[in-house]
Structure formats: structure tokens, C-alpha cells
Amino acid sequence: MSWNDPNASSEAQKYVNPIPSRELILSTINEYGEVTHQQLAKAFNIDDPDQFDALGNRLKAMARDGQVNRDGRPYRYRTVTEHDIVTGTVSAHPKGFGFVILSDMPDLFLHEKQMRWVFNGDTVQAVGTSTDNRGRTEGRIVDIVERRQNNFIGTLAHDEEGYCVELGSPNNHQPITVTEENVQALNAKQGAPVKVDIIDWPNQHEFATGKITEVLSDDNDRELIIETTLLNYDIPSDFSEAALQQANSYQEPTEKDLKGRTDLRDLPLITIDGEDARDFDDAVFAEKRSGGNYRVLVAIADVSYYVTPNSPLDKD
């Protein structure tokens, strides 16, 4: 070994034929700016074929881990700079992999190991590391900028390692571990749908930990399905303060409001919306005529009269 490596002793303990450490490789690449595998081996006076191959494997691993970038053929390696870091949104796939969605360049592909850090919709900083055999630029997450949500709905499960909450798509790659004490305190049963808050976020070696805050009704219930979908896909479900103020400002119709309209309020109209409908804007009235026929009126609310373009209600 003919290079001055501050980590030489630890490398010698790991390998029979040690090679330069990652730290030394990075500092050497910094000196060169860009360098090929061959040039780097020459700089370290590496002639042994096994050491040469080991150096190549280390360079590949460093590219995979986002420590260096590589371009061209043969690969030219350079250190990662701030200009290489991009910010985007994680899109999780049900099979466990995912993508960093970028607005101005092709998306970055995330392997399952990278997805261990994140949930669908998280905002992250990442670097492109290499290109896979399908032509996709692989990415490595370097920082998590913002978590999209910190509570989820899933199914309580149990195995030999303990309890966890299994999430549905798109976060089925991220079980959330919970304590037995938490489960017993809420008398939660295995297979029950539950709401869970995050305590500690996941990392490369451990799943997220959480606390069950509520045991929900059967997951076939429509309201639960709606709530789960809204929560897991971060779909806004609360009206803004401005929209609520606009809605509360409306009064009973005046003569001005009735101008050009037929007033049907004296008729015993019956709504055709279901009991659990979110709006009641349709109604019917029927009366039997002397000849045996029926006169039917279908009344549909003119929502556009109240929800005007670009108003808070319209935007919500």
C-alpha cells in the first residue's frame, strides 16, 4: 500500500488486500475534479487486479450511495455538489419502490431501501446516482424537507416481533410499530382499523413507531373508507375560514333574490338526497290530477347563484 490514508488501519482490519477508504477517494477526486477508475488506480499505484476490481466496486457503491456522480463511458467520477441536489415529492408504488417527482427534469427512481425513509407525498432533497438497465436515473435521498402527514389509518397486525399498523396503498411499504401497552389500553383487536400518530420517523434500519389514538368501525363502512382515502392521500377535507364565513353570511332569500324565479317554497317538496348526503340540493313534488295523471316537479338548487367564480367557496 503506497497511499497515505487516515483510515488505513480500519481498512486493513476489514480486508486482506485493503484499498483506499471512501474518504481518501473523495479527497483525491476533489483534487482531480473528474477521474476515471483507471486514473484513480494509477493515482494510488494500484497494479494488483483484485485491488483494481475492489476499487471499481467501491466506486460503484459510492455512486449508489450518492457520494459521487458518474457520467460518460468510461465512467468519469466527480464529487456531489449543491448543484446536483434536487427537491421533489415522493410518489410511492404499491410494490415498494417509488420516485422523486420533479417539475423540470425526469423523475428519480427510488429503490426499496431508499423508500424505507419516506412516506408517499413527503418532500425530499435527492441526488441522481446512476442509470439502471431500464434507462431510469436512480436517486438517493439526502434530506427530508417536509413530511406530508403525521397520522394515518391502517389495520392492526401482530406477529412474533410485536404489534404494528399496516397501511394500505400507497404506503403499504411502511408498517408502523406500536406498543402492546398502547394496544391493550384501547382494547384494540388484531385486524381492526385504527388511526395512528407517528412518534418516531423511519430510518434505513427501523420502521416508524407510532401511537394508536382511535379504534375505528369496520373497514367496510363507507364513512371509514372515505376518511381513510382522504387521510392516506392527503386530500383536503376541511373548508377554509374564508369559505365558512362566506357560507354563514347567507340570509333567507329576499324579493331581489326571487326576481325572475318561481317561488316553490309553499310546496311540500321532498329531498331525493340520502340521509347521509353531504348536500341537499335536489327535491321532488308530485300531485295526482283529476284525470288520473300525475304532475311532477323536480327542483334543483341553483348552486352557482351562491358559489360565485373565484370566491372562497368556489376555490375550496
**For residue range 104-154, what is the model confidence (pLDDT) as tens digits?**
889 999 999 899 999 999 999 998 877 777 878 888 898 999 999 888 989
> Looking at this protein, which amino acid is placed at residue 156?
L
Q: Within 13 Å, how many C-alpha atoms sit on residue 87's CB side? A: 5
* Rg, Å, the chain Cα set: 31
Return d(Cα 167, Cα 252) in angstroms, integer.
46
Indicate if the pLDDT at residue 242 is higher than 90.
Answer: yes
Residue 293: per-residue pLDDT = 94
**For residue range 61-114, what is the model confidence (pLDDT) as tens digits?**
888 777 888 877 788 888 887 888 899 999 999 888 999 999 888 999 999 989
**For residue range 218-239, what is the model confidence (pLDDT) as tens digits?**
655 667 777 777 776 767 778 8
Residue 138: per-residue pLDDT = 86
Return d(Cα 226, Cα 249) in angstroms, integer.
29
pTM over 0.85: no
Beta bridge partner(s), residue 276: none
Residue 218: per-residue pLDDT = 65
Position with higher pLDDT, 236 vs 208:
208
Structure confidence at residue 1 as a pLDDT band (50, 70, 90): very low
Burial (Cβ within 10 Å: 0-12, 13-18, ≥19) of residue 171 = buried
Return d(Cα 143, Cα 149) in angstroms, integer.
17
Average pLDDT over residues 282-298: 92
Residue 221: per-residue pLDDT = 66
Residue 120: per-residue pLDDT = 92
Return d(Cα 278, Cα 220) in angstroms, integer.
19
Indicate if the pLDDT at residue 211 is higher than 60.
Answer: yes
**For residue range 5-37, what is the model confidence (pLDDT) as tens digits?**
777 777 767 766 788 888 888 989 888 888 999
**For residue range 35-66, what is the model confidence (pLDDT) as tens digits?**
999 999 998 888 889 889 999 999 988 887 77
Which residue ranges form the domains of the chain, and what is each CATH number? 8-79 (1.10.10), 82-146 (2.40.50.140), 151-232 (2.40.50.700), 243-315 (no CATH)
Closest CA to 30 of 43, 45, 46: 43
Position with higher pLDDT, 124 vs 281:
124
